[in-house]
Structures are given as C-alpha cells and as structure tokens.
Chain A
Amino acid sequence: MIVIKPLLVVCFVGLLIWAFRNRARVGMRAGIRLVAALLTGFAVAAIVDPGLTQSLANAVGVTRGTDLLLYALVVVFAFTTMAGYFRYRELDNRLAEIARSQAIHEAVRMEGMPGVSPRD
C-alpha cells in the first residue's frame, strides 16, 4: 500500500507532462474530450446511485467514496489549470503578434522604411 502511493504520484505527474507536451495533437484533444464525456457519465451515474462511488473506492483500495471523488477532482483541476495556462499564453502571443505587425506597419506608413531617413 505504501509503495503504490509514490508510483501513482509519479504516474500522474508523468501523464500530465506527456499530455501537455503533446497538446497540439488532434488525437490528444479527442482523448481529453472522451475522458471528459466518461467523467460526466460517471457523475450522472453517481447521482443516481450514491453507493457507486463507495463500491468503486473499495475496488481500488481507497477507504471512502468521497476520498476517491476528491482525488479525481484534484486530477481534473490540475489538468484544467494547465490547459488554461497554455491557452492564455497562446492567446497572449497572438495578441503580441498582431500589435507588433500593426506597430511596424504604422511606423513604415508614417515615415517610410527604416534606413531611408528623411534627412538624406
């Protein structure tokens, strides 16, 4: 029981890094959506039959069903946060590119290409 804990932690971190390194792949996006759909299905099932989480917890060796839910929540939250971070950075870079090309375009329009100074 003690050995499995660090193993699970390493697997989780490894999975996180692998998933985000390959975030551009179409298959990865499809996989994430599939997982989201499965989790939604599980959530509906757990509402209908509250005993389901407890029996699942017993099956994987977790004491309480609520603990299992909490672990799942932590995993999902970590993925969501990371996805948000990368999405934000991507948008940020695009915004910078637009502002840059607009700035250079405007500078060239106003005073001409660099190197052709009006004093010449």
Chain B
Amino acid sequence: MVVPTPIYARCSVPGPKLEVQSGVSPLASLPDLLNRDVWVIVRCFNEATVAGAVIQELTRSFPNVVGVDDGSTDGSSEVIREAGARVVRHAINLGAGAALQTGLQFALLDPAAQYFVCFDADGQHRVSDAIGMVERMRNEDLDILIGSRFLGSAAGMPRTRRSVLRAARVFERLSSGVSLSDAHNGLRVFTRRFASQLSFSMRDMAYASELLRFIRQSGLRYGEHPVTVDYTVYSLAKGQRSVNSINIAMDVWMQRIFGRRPS
C-alpha cells in the first residue's frame, strides 16, 4: 500500500514520521473542516452598533474574517477587532466597491486562501447561508456563487425595493449579458481564481453591475444559491435608496460607452 508522505518528510528536513493507516492523510481534509482556506470580507461604514454581533457569529464558523472599515467615524474598527476579526481601515470613505476590493486584496495575501465570502455587516445575511454556499463551492465546479433572495426568501422586503431590483435585473441582463436573479445581493463567494482577476473601478454600489461584466469576461462558471435576507429596521434605514439606481445605471452606461480605463 502506498502511504502518502507528509509534506515535511518530502522536504529533506528530518522530522517525525507520521503514522497513516488509510490511504488518505487525516490532515488533508482538515483545512476544509475548519474553513481555514476561507476568508470572509465584511465591509463596514459606521456600523459599530451591529457589525460586532455579525462578526462574532461569523468567527464561530470561519477562522479568517476581515472587516474593512471604510473610513467610519463611530469606532467600527475597535468593534471589529474586539469581535475577533482582522481590521483593514481606509483613512477616508471610499465606497462599497472600493472596500470590497481592499478586503479581497488583503485576503489574497494569504496563500492558503481559496474561497472568499462577501458578507454584509448590517445583519441582513445569515451565516448558515454562507456556510452552505462554501460547501457547495467545494463540491461543484463553480468559481462564482451569488446569493439570491428571489430563490430564497426576503422577509419584509418593501414593494418598491422589489420592483427596483426587478428593473435592475433587466438592465443588467441587457448591459452585461449575465443573467442573475439577484445581482445586488451582498452575499457572494468567489474562488481564488476569480477573486484575483477582480479590480473594481466603480467605487460605490455600481460595483455590483461591474461585477457582472467581470463574470462574463472571465468566462468562469457562476451559479446562484437561495439565501434568506432579513430586512430589519436597521438594514432598511442603512440600505441604499431606490433612487440611487438611476445613478448606478448612468455610471454603468458611461463606462460602457466611453471605455473603462482612461489612462
């Protein structure tokens, strides 16, 4: 029987011999079980009141959590740190897209990181959904998995929000060619392959539309996963206003017509 040699034995450094009974090393599946190859990115902009509880819950299932404090003035950084996550702090507020980019770039510095979970700080997502999505990514040949409240459930979603998201879906299908039922869902999982290709130039919420273009250009496989979005009083007050969708649409089309990078 061929017994796989432990990594340190493969290097010519003398080390203790590990006794392995079966054909599979018990260490091989360990990172999977502990989610050590996963980084969760939580963007925070003045969310000190809620981010702590969200991050604390996340750290129970994911050892690697990074909170990107996007120039908060309410001490979000301290809350993130106390909750047990790494902190990356923007000196000035840059916007959602820029904060996500920062979180990804930071997490990519960890060579062991394979999966990158984007999670909102306001408590609208469920950690169990994130766990389910990572599980699915491990088992299926997918590089991008986007949560969908339309496949899952969205308790207490206002009617205007629903119709704006519907319109956004049509708009994005037209402008990117990628069809997702809920492209603006903040809960997403990327593989390292896809995450390392991303470079958002849309700093604000328009990055979600830009993301679709990256998906199409990468040619990688994407999927959707039913998730539950809890519309709390907090998340509704904090969330973007429906009128902002006009700004987003303008920015997206300006970029489409006039090209991406001016330099």
Contact = CB atoms under 8 A, between A and B. Distances in A.
Interface of A: 17, 20-21, 23-24, 85-86, 89-90, 92-93, 95-96, 99-100, 102-104, 106-108, 111, 113-115, 117
Interface string B90-129: 1110100010011001110111110000000000000000
B88 interface: yes
A108 B88 CA distance: 9
B39 A114 contact: yes
A103 B88 contact: yes
B66 interface: yes
Interface residues of B, number: 32
B90 A103 contact: yes
B257 interface: yes
The 10 closest A-B pairs by CB, nearest first: A115-B110, A114-B110, A107-B88, A96-B98, A100-B102, A20-B258, A103-B88, A90-B262, A96-B94, A103-B90
26 contacts: A17-B258, A20-B259, A21-B259, A89-B262, A90-B262, A93-B201, A95-B94, A96-B101, A99-B90, A99-B92, A99-B98, A100-B98, A102-B91, A103-B88, A104-B102, A104-B106, A107-B87, A107-B89, A107-B106, A111-B86, A114-B64, A115-B110, A115-B111, A115-B112, A115-B113, A117-B64
Contacts of A104: 88, 102, 105-106, 109
Nearest to A110: B87
Interface of B: 39, 63-64, 66, 68, 86-92, 94, 98, 101-102, 105-107, 109-113, 201, 203, 254, 257-259, 262-263
B203 A108 contact: no
Contacts of A86: 258, 262
A23 B258 CA distance: 9
Q: Which of B91, B111, B258, B263 has the most CB of A within 10 A?
A: B258
A29 to B, nearest CB: 12
A106 B111 CA distance: 19
